[in-house]
Amino acid sequence: TFCQLFGLGSTKARPGKEMEAIMAANFLMNADPHGGNWIKFNKAPPKPGEEVRAGGRAGSRSRRRG
């Protein structure tokens, strides 16, 4: 339909190609120095049932000191 062709069918905001280009430009122009925003933007959502840890790393290795 007309509304779907011009993106008028949904009121939910979705990031498009423009947002992807802006995020990439911010990273390349060093406005996002460590790429944190770029990584968050492109990170795949966790699958149902997967646990998301606060530290961001999976695995249970602990560092030995000594």
Per-residue pLDDT of 5-64, as tens digits, reads: 666 665 555 668 888 888 889 999 999 888 999 888 888 877 887 766 665 555 556 667
Domain positions in the chain:
14-44
Q: What pLDDT was estimated at residue 31?
A: 92
Identify the sign of the CA torsion 36, 40, 41, 44. Answer: positive
Amino acid at 20: E
Q: Is 26 exposed, middle or buried (0-12, 13-18, 19+ CB in 10 A)?
A: middle
